[in-house]
């Protein structure tokens, strides 16, 4: 229920200084866009290496040049810290921390709620807190609000303001994606929403106001469920059409010539990234509270999750045709990032392919020009530190998992080893080439 009390009007309408909590693939570009727009930004992250990099004008994300960061740091519009008490200096806090799933495929809000607990004692009256992390409807006005109120001894909508605005970051876009992608904003109260619109309007071209935090949270889930379901559809058709001897990519390209009623999605080896493989399960979990089933969403998840097994079956068949067994073969996976031309390998299906092949006795290496060394990950810590290998013809099979530009133009035409391409992306193909 929304508070009916008049809100505190001490909130500055200019938002001269804000704090962005979490300086990863969402928080860093958001910080830079606000800084470019003339807002002073205090970045907060527990990772001291990120804090040090920013304050020294260095980038740790490959698609953000160091010069972009250095320019804002030099202009004194962007600095980073690990000290949560410094949010008391700011007019607004934007929370951009991970919302993964736990081992039971249930929402893990610990990053959001732990962040709120740490920040709460330092909140000045009138501050605006906006959550950007993807989550299920009700998180902002229930779980987040309660932690902030208990830790600050203040009331949302009265002493501080609360909003939800889902991130829409698309790593690898060449234009200014943060600035040009419309921002959905919902407030805990009308005043909260008004202030959130004022804040985001300072850095983003178009704001779409919705009636509540819950609507904004549901909007983000719909966007990602839409992609998940449609990717599952073409992944299923890939398997069916392959059995019929039909090239699904040719079919999709032909269907895409229709100027209405069709949107092209492409199949792949599975889903990757922090959003698409995870977010649908947030709604599935929350729907159970209302005694509702999400069979369509769960079926899509099953199909997409099963794609690595389909790929491995194609790899096995290809090696069999060469008179080789999967066990003992040497396989090079091309691409660890979950999508082309970025260094983001969160939830990448390449990890699943690597582990499933290794479990069958295959010797596996990977190559990725954007990920020279595997970083520490929550799901695959045992692979941390593994280095990218050179592309050559010494392997029993090469498996293309990510459609980096470097691979598209690479000359594989003289390679004797078979290549299985899950992205239909290679131009200079060898004689022994197949898709999966």
Active site residues: 275
How far apart are the C-alpha atoms of 277 and 271, rounded to whole Å? 6
């Amino acid at each position: 229920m929304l508070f009916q009390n008049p809100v505190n009007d001490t909130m500055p309408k200019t938002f001269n200084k804000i704090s962005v909590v979490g300086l990863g693939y969402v928080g860093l570009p958001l910080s830079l866009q606000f800084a470019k727009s003339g807002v002073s930004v205090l970045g907060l992250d527990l990772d001291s290496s990120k804090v040090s990099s920013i304050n020294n004008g260095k980038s740790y994300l490959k698609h953000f040049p160091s010069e972009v960061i250095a320019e804002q740091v030099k202009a004194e519009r962007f600095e980073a810290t690990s000290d949560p008490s410094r949010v008391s200096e700011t007019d607004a806090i934007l929370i951009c921390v991970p919302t993964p799933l736990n081992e039971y495929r249930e929402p893990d809000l610990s990053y959001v709620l732990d962040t709120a607990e740490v920040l709460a004692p330092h909140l000045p009256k009138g501050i605006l807190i906006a959550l950007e992390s993807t989550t299920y409807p009700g998180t902002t006005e229930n779980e987040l609000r309660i932690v902030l109120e208990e830790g600050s001894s203040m009331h949302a909508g009265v002493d501080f303001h609360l909003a939800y605005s889902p991130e829409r970051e698309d790593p690898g876009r060449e234009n200014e994606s943060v600035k040009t992608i419309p921002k959905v904003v919902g407030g805990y109260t009308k005043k909260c929403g008004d202030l959130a619109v004022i804040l985001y309007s300072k850095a983003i071209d178009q704001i779409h106001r919705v009636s509540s935090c819950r609507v904004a949270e549901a909007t983000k889930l719909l966007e990602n469920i839409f992609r998940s379901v449609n990717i599952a559809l073409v992944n299923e058709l890939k398997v069916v059409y392959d059995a019929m001897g039909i090239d699904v990519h040719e079919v999709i390209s032909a269907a895409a010539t229709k100027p209405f009623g069709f949107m092209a999605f492409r199949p792949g080896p599975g889903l990757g990234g922090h959003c698409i493989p995870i977010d649908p399960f947030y709604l599935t979990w929350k729907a159970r509270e209302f005694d509702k089933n999400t069979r369509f969403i769960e079926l899509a998840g099953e199909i997409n999750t099963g794609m690595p097994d389909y790929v491995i079956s194609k790899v096995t068949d290809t090696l069999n045709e060469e008179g080789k067994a999967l066990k003992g073969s040497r396989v090079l996976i091309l691409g660890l990032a979950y999508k082309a031309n970025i260094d983001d390998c969160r939830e990448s299906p390449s990890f699943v392919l690597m582990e499933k092949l290794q479990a069958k006795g295959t010797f596996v290496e990977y190559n990725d020009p954007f990920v020279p060394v595997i970083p520490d990950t929550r799901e695959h810590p045992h692979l941390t530190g593994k280095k990218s290998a050179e592309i050559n013809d010494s392997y029993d099979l090469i498996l293309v998992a990510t459609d980096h530009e470097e691979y598209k133009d690479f000359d594989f035409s003289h390679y004797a080893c078979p290549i299985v391409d899950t992205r239909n992306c290679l131009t200079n193909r060898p004689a022994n080439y197949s898709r999966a």
